[in-house]
Amino acid sequence: MIRPILQYRPLDRGFVICLPGEADSHAWLRTLRGLPGHLHGRDRLTPARARIFLPDGALVEAHTVPLRWQRALPWLASLAPDDPRLGGSIAFWASALRLLQSLVLRGALLPQLETGNTPWRASWGISLTSPSDREALDRLVKAIPPSALAFPQDDLWAFTKGLALGTLDPEEVEDDLALPPRPEPLVKAFLEHGADFLARFVAGSLRPGEDPRLGLIHRLRGHKRDRLPWDERLMVALSHPMNEFPTSGITERTLGEQMEQWSEGARTQWIRPSLRLEAPPVPPGRDAFQEADRLSEEGWTLRVGLETPQGDFVEVARLWESTTDATVLEARKVLLRGLARAVPFFPALEGALAGQKPEDLKLSPTEAWAFLTRGAAQLKEAGFLVHLPEGMAEFGGARRLRAKVRLGARTLEDTLPGATRQEGLEGNVSAEWSLMLGDDRLELEDFAQLSSLKHPLVAWKGKWVALDPETLRQITAVIQASRGAGFEKMTKGEALAAALTGTARIPGVSEAIEVEVAGDFGSALSELKRLPDKPITQPKGFKGQLRPYQLRGLAWLEGLSRLGLGGILADDMGLGKTIQVLALLLMRQEQSPRFGPPTLLICPTSLLGNWEREIAKFAPSVPFFVHHGNNREELPASFQPHTLVLTTYGVVRREEEAFGTRTWGMVVVDEAQAIKNPGSAQAKAVRRIRAPFKLALTGTPIENRLLELWSILAFALPGFLGSESQFKERFANPIEKYRDPDAARDLRGCAGPFILRRVKTDRTIIEDLPEKQEMKVYTQLSREQGLLYQARVDQMEKDLAAASGIERRGRILALLTHLKQICNHPTQFLRQAGPYAGRSGKLERLTDMIEEVLESGEKALVFTQFREMGDRLQVHLADRLGFEPPFLHGGSTREQRDEMVRSFQEDPDGPPLMLLSLKAGGVGLNLTAATHVFHYDRWWNPAVEDQATDRTYRIGQTRNVQVHKLITIGTLEEKIDALLESKRDLADRVVGTGEGWLTELDDDALRRLVALDSNIDLMSDEDAPAPAPVDLPEELPPPDEAELPEGMGEDLPSEAPAGQPKPKRRTPAKPRVKKGVIA
């Protein structure tokens, strides 16, 4: 099999995918579709004929597809680095992109001017001041595969569409132009062109007011460039797609040279200026602090010189030895230019240039401190090589002054035997405070002496130590605070969070405090970190066999329960969270058969039947009691030992007092995303319930916002992550708004031990689960749909002009819902009862695909977010297939849901097709009989779609699952799809909540999002009824039939709104099946 080659072509500022060798266009299309990752619009890419030079100089034919940065960048970013399907060149450029992304995110960019032609052009380049970045670039250049170099340096004449495939024989070309490009310039061109594209893309996509730093750019774009000052002209040229920089006057003609000199330190060089700070010697054997300016009569020395890439230092004295060597003379110029550039960052360097030749510089302790704290860091950023004395980097490095707290070393009175029993994180842990300098404990008397010196450079125990005055002030604040009431102990929640992150914090003090654990608290913490690896045996009463990863989950649950801590079991849908909980209940039952408080399990109504069936199947010895229904009685005063009480969120909300005052041994919440909104009455009622062990079950602990994780952990571990406002300040805002890696690391370290998540795609977890194949099915609009869509977009202009604030947001939500309805079917938007055939490209494509699936003897699920669209699908498919597929939605009773699932899963004569509401049928159900999943319309949150897909892609599934997502070309759906792909990563990074972020778009951005592509082809409608002229009503109906996102509404009742005809239903009939084929 010939692997495709991915080349970067600097002259085209873009990529080319090549498939060399003899292959027809169909083989090429199969190869293109089989490429891993998310290559947007791959089905619409058309190969061109071209000739390329292989590294051996042979000219060969190739099928090629050019890719611009707009399409190539998200594709390369979506590729997994260890995907075995990647060819050498594709894997290489994906790796190069990761370096590019790192440079851009860190702001390692440089503005530059190309002055070779008129007008000049401004562009962004990359800054390589960091040694690690230069090393990464060197590694990339050495790792470039030969296939990435398979084209001539100047290939404008070789790339052609004018030759038919099969007419050109390979030939040897003896021509300098056939030489492949050199690796280093090619990789640098990739990085610089990519940086320029990303910078302009970001600047162009931000709306006015979204980033105050870009406000001037937005204001300048309406002006003629030649009338602006040169600096404003440069800003526009660096942010606008048109990068021309017109110059005027002789002065501006020197800008190119000045910018090149200014950025010299950020480019790769054969030799670089180097500065080395040397400290005076310290008399050994002295334990007391010694003030630097009294000890160092000769002062500190800043040595200047040059440094080679190999790290060899060339002193200034050696450079100015008498010579006529051209290399030495050029090196002198490099040093002189470098020192001149360095003076603004550290003015004392003027002294090094005061004589006839550069000289090493003597610094006073005050100047040395200024160099350590400000000059060194700024010079490094400017591209200079800076070396500091050992132990003095970052204000002391290993000998940094810091506060430390030791937790759990003492036993407190409230934890002694006989004290009141505490639950969960109730109670306190002892705290002992101290000061450290390096590995040495610093007594308060020594700290007082150190502070009294009023000097940042001191000598102690024979070494120099640099002490930041701000750190001294912060440590003083810590000492004063630790002497206050209450600081001799911490709550268990605070102590646990501090121990897991390794740092404690005091309100009002920014200095992080080092944490050490001891005693029983330290032993419990050590056990917590290794809970999943503890050997454990399956309970004897469990009917079945737990998989190895499920046994590890059981060990984790048992350990948390024993330690009195809560957690989140966040395994992927279908990995068996339910049976792991049942195994824990059986284990408790076996440990104490005659006594055990009841366990409360709260779940959505649709899952009650599932829990009952799973108990009967896997844990029949566990007694259970269902507290649900309109005619339910009060909770009994007592239960059998270890009874599992099943109830729903709605019942708990309505009977909050009864549940909150009972004694429970354990509380489990299934589909815990139901309490993700911390301010909801439902979440508050659940959090009020008390138990020594609380467990949350969810496949998606974070759907959109980090605050959802806080809300769930506030139930499982009350007080562990602080208050809601404290969590926002410490974690949510830094991570979501500023992508703070330190905050993300602290949150992972803090919450990680209490969240156990395994995914089906991890073959170390489960080896016998088949593949899941996701594909996008692009459909066309009918002529009627196109007219309705355009008319509704035109109506938008009047809506936006007449509304603002909350009303504007409401109108945008209505617009988005209306456009999605039109893409589904005109009758949904127009509220008609039919006819359905021939009026919707999406419905026609769905019908064809379902008929094909059923003819092959397979079963399928169809999800829609609209209750009324589900009714229409049911009527239409009944007409086409000869039976009425069941439709599970929010209005279905519990008995109806259970019967639908049983019939679909178990009945050989049952319906092979099932329709489901995305929200009502997207959680908790086991529908592994299906091998095809269709998403008829797209939800704004991809995590919800994944949950729905996992109704069939779960344990018990033995066949490959195919997921089909229908997208209407040229409409809002296609543009939202691209945004959804970027949103999948938001368990770590947040894009927005539901549709709310769309309502904040300005008018221009909204127009671009909803505009109908003028180049789309409409569906052939020869058999469709002729569409009536489009005349939208003055007042468009509100989107009352949609299942609004993010808890804004549940499934609507089955009754149609007043005045709206309801689709006629056929009498249900069993499918006529013969040899696996629908008759």
The closest of 314, 372, 359 to 349, measured between CA atoms, is 359
| pLDDT at residue 182 in the model | 81
Closest CA to 276 of 241, 239, 314, 330: 314
In the prediction, which pLDDT does 857 show?
82
Q: Is the pLDDT of residue 897 over 60?
A: yes
pLDDT band at residue 1058 under the 50/70/90 scheme: very low
The whole-number average pLDDT for the span 368-373 is 84
Exposure string of 629-668, with b = 16+ CB inside 10 Å and e = fewer, is: eeeeeebeeebebbbbbbbbbebbbebbeebeebebbbbb
Before 212, cis peptide (omega within 30)? no
Share of the chain above pLDDT 90, in %: 16
Q: What CA–CA distance (Å, rounded) separates 280 from 302? A: 11
Cβ–Cβ < 8 Å for 758, 549: yes
Structure confidence at residue 171 (pLDDT): 39
Torsion, CA 792, CA 798, CA 799, CA 800, rounded to 10: 120
- Percent helix, strand, coil in the chain, to 5, is 40, 15, 40
If one counts every other C-beta atom within 10 angstroms of the C-beta of residue 867, the result is 22
Least confident interval from 238-242, 734-738, 994-998, 1066-1070: 1066-1070
pLDDT at 526: 79
How far CA 740 is from CA of 99, 508, 769, 983, 1006, in Å, comes to: 19, 20, 36, 18, 30
What average pLDDT does range 18-40 have in this prediction? 72
How far apart are the C-alpha atoms of 892 and 703, rounded to whole Å? 26
Give the residue, 1034 or 1042, on which the prediction is more confident. 1034
From the candidate CATH numbers 3.60.10.10, 3.40.980.10, 3.90.1170.10, 3.40.50.300, the one assigned to the domain spanning 772-1046? 3.40.50.300
Which among 1008, 655, 972 is positioned nearest to 824, based on CA atoms? Answer: 972
User: How many Å separate Cα 186 from the centre of its chain?
Assistant: 30
Three-class SS state of 856: coil
Using an 8 Å Cβ cutoff, are 255 and 240 in contact? no
Q: How confident is the model at residue 263 (pLDDT cuts 50, 70, 90)?
A: low
What pLDDT sits at residue 988? 34
Is the fold of 531-756 the same as that of 772-1046? Answer: yes
The answer to whether 4 and 18 are in contact (CB under 8 A) is yes
Domain extents in the chain: 5-205, 269-387, 403-527, 531-756, 772-1046
Q: Say what the pLDDT of residue 574 is.
A: 66
When pLDDT is cut at 50, 70 and 90, the band that residue 923 belongs to is low
Give 490's strand partners.
Answer: 429
807 vs 421, residue with greater confidence: 807
What are the contacts of 796-801 at 24+ separation with CB within 8 A? 796/1006, 796/1007, 796/1010, 800/1003, 800/1006
Whether residue 584 is predicted with pLDDT greater than 90 in this model: the reply is: yes
Q: What average pLDDT does the segment 274-300 reach?
A: 66
State the architecture of 531-756 in CATH terms.
3-Layer(aba) Sandwich (3.40)
Exposed e or buried b per residue across 729-766, where buried means at least 16 C-beta atoms within 10 angstroms of its C-beta:
ebbbebbbeeebeebbebbeebbebbbbebebeeeebb
For residue 762, the model assigns a pLDDT of 73
Strands of the sheet containing 120-126, edge to edge, are: 109-114, 120-126, 244-245
Contact 890, 1052 (CB under 8 A): yes
> What was the pLDDT predicted at 657?
92
Chain centre to alpha carbon of residue 930: 30
47 vs 539, residue with greater confidence: 539
pLDDT at 406: 85
Place of tokens 């829990």: 611
933 neighbors 861 (Cβ within 8 angstroms): yes
Q: Give the mean model confidence (pLDDT) for residues 299-307.
A: 86
What stretches of 68-209 adopt beta strand conformation (E)?
Answer: 109-114, 120-126, 171-172
pLDDT of residue 941: 66
Distance CA 93, CA 87 (A): 10
Peptide bond into 119 cis (omega under 30): yes
Number of residues assigned to the chain: 1079
Please report which confidence band the pLDDT of residue 1044 belongs to, taking 50, 70 and 90 as the band edges: very low
Q: What was the pLDDT predicted at 168?
A: 35
pLDDT score for 943: 65
Torsion of CA 790, 791, 796, 802, to 10 degrees: 160
DSSP bridge partners of 430:
489
Please report which confidence band the pLDDT of residue 557 belongs to, taking 50, 70 and 90 as the band edges. Answer: very high
**pLDDT of amino acid 1037:** 55
Encoded amino acid at 599, one letter = T
Helices (H) and strands (E) in the chain, counts: 37, 37
| Residues in contact with 213: Cβ distance below 8 Å, sequence separation at least 6, in sequence order | none
Rounded to 10 degrees, the C-alpha dihedral 464/470/475/481 comes to 170
Distance CA 235, CA 224 (A): 13
d(CA 128, CA 102): 12
Q: Does position 261 have pLDDT exceeding 80, yes or no?
A: no
Which has the closest alpha carbon to 557: 526, 588, 597?
Answer: 588
Per-residue tokens: 166: 């099969």
Q: Alpha-carbon distance 75 to 10, whole Å?
A: 19
- List, for residues 393-406, the tens digit of each pLDDT value: 654 444 567 788 88
| Tokens representing residue 766 in the block | 């489960």
Q: What's the CA dihedral at 568, 572, 576, 579 to 10 degrees? A: 10
Spatial separation of the C-alpha atoms in residues 827 and 835, rounded to whole Å: 8
Residue 881, classed as helix, strand or coil, is helix
DSSP string, 976-1036: HHHHHHHHTTTTTS---STTHHHHT--HHHHHHHHPPPTTPPPPP-SSSPPPPPP---SSP
What average pLDDT is seen over the chain? 76
Above 80 in pLDDT, residue 94?
Answer: yes
- What average pLDDT does this structure show over 655-675? 92
Confidence grade of residue 588 (pLDDT, cut at 50, 70, 90): very high
CA atoms within 13 A on the CB side of 684: 6
pLDDT of 980 above 70:
no
Most confident of 51-55, 73-77, 667-671, 730-734: 667-671
Strand, helix or coil at 393? coil
